[in-house]
Amino acid sequence: MNQETDLHYGEDLVSLTLAAIQQERLHELDDKLSALTEAELANLLESLPPEQRTALWDSCPESRQGDLLPYLRDEVRASVIGTMAEDALVSVVQVMPAEDMAEVIDDLPADVSEAILDSLDAENRKRVERVLAYEEGTAGRLMSLNVLSVSPDVTLAVVLRWLRRHETLPAHTDSLMVVSDKGTYLGKLAMDAIVTGNPDTLVENKMDRDAAAITATTSEHDVAGIFDRCELISVAVVDDEGMLLGRITFDDAMTVLKDEADHALLKSAGLAEEEDLFAPAIPSAKRRGIWLGINLITVFLAAWVVSQFEEVLGQLVALAILMPVVASMGGIAGSQTLTLTIRGMALDQIATGNVRWLTRKELTVGAINGAVWAFVVSLAVYLWFNNVGLSIVIAVAMMLNLLVAALCGVGVPLMLKRAGADPALAGAVILTTVTDVVGFFTFLGLASVFLI
């Protein structure tokens, strides 16, 4: 392998890494791999089959393994941890930031978690336990405890001298948190105000008192929404009494948004949110088989509806040819509405007050598209089969199915959410079943009444 090869992150690097592992020359890529960010290297690990993934992980310095673990998906992280000796795992995890350590500890067996906590000094153990005290999926789990705070009664000159004594500042430090003597959050002091302000000005005269804070019990979904809407870089996290606990930065919020997008995409296909692309075949088959079984039941339901019109199908073969057209158009139209509705729910854009308007709008869209495409299909059917009655029947059936699809596209995810089910997981299955059954029933039912 040529060490001068110009590597970049992507398919080429995956192929070169696999080749280097196979040839036992992985050391030749050390410089290139060390130049990758933690997120890029984590994605490379997830792109490798289990045996090669272990080889790459073992080649990573112990100091970097702790940085990588939080970037790995749960299932991949579990597979990597499963290859490590307990003492090595303790050594890697105990140097991680408290919030990252809490995330990893949640995935470990109780005895290993306790061993890690026992290895920490009193101060660090207290920090980790503070984070673990909050439920997973809340701001308390997402926040970093590494936050800089100042008093309101000191001058900007004092603050600037204090900052210069730090070798580095926490990542994405756009401002300092201003707190009272008791630790109560009062506002934020922007870094540009420190640099450009009059050195003799007191912090309380330059701070932003309106800079809102997030309570530690706020859901991470709501936190990500706040960052997305308000274009924040960082936000303070406080307890119910307003005491400053930590801060959340935009990169953490963007990670939540990305995870939610991945969640919606995978759930729509009936896949586990953290499914490992290179997981062993048997566990993957079991997970996916459940939803294939559910889908099979719905297919048999649609087949049963068709079987009720066996005599009609025998008399007019064209019906069998055209059946998929009606069902497919309804399924596509319904999926469009379903996707928009789930997206709106994820962004908290749908509430009780606007559901009726949204339903009317989607029904109108369904009626317009239904009329246009029903005309197109009926014209094509007439030219194909030279049968006016068949053209009218398929036009009416398609129009009705697109209206039902629009209604289900809005109603199904809302009903599933109210029932405590995941709309992204079950919505598509229910919608497809409804549009298939309604499409077949209306088309064949109308044909049996008016054509036979």
Taking a C-beta distance cutoff of 8 angstroms, is the pair 139, 221 a contact? no
| SS3 state at 246 | strand
Sequence ranges of the chain with CATH classification 1.10.357.20:
281-450
The partner residues of 214 in beta bridges, in order of sequence, read 237
CA atoms within 13 Å, Cβ hemisphere of 373: 20
pLDDT at 275: 57
| SS3 state at 149 | strand
Residue 180 identity (one-letter amino acid): S
pLDDT at 270: 52
Sequence ranges of the chain with CATH classification 1.25.60.10:
11-136
Tokens coding 379: 């014209």
Dihedral, CA of residue 262, residue 263, residue 264 and residue 268, to nearest 10: 110
Q: Is the four-CA dihedral 166, 167, 171, 175 of positive or negative sign?
A: positive
CA distance 222 to 253: 10
CA distance 440 to 452: 16
Give the pLDDT means over successive 10-residue stretches in the chain (452 positions).
Answer: 42 83 87 87 88 91 87 84 86 83 81 84 87 90 92 95 92 93 95 93 95 93 88 93 94 82 61 59 66 70 82 82 90 89 78 87 93 93 92 94 94 89 77 91 91 78
pLDDT at 164: 93
Sequence ranges of the chain with CATH classification 3.10.580.10:
149-268
CA distance 322 to 401: 14
pLDDT at 450: 87
At the topology level, CATH places domain 149-268 in: CBS-domain (3.10.580)
pLDDT at 343: 78
Q: Tell me the chain's radius of gyration from C-alpha atoms.
A: 29
| SS3 state at 190 | strand
Q: What is the architecture of the domain spanning 281-450?
A: Orthogonal Bundle (1.10)
At the topology level, CATH places domain 11-136 in: MgtE N-terminal fold (1.25.60)
Complete edge-to-edge strand list for the sheet that includes strand 244-249: 213-215, 234-238, 244-249
Tokens coding 332: 């596509």
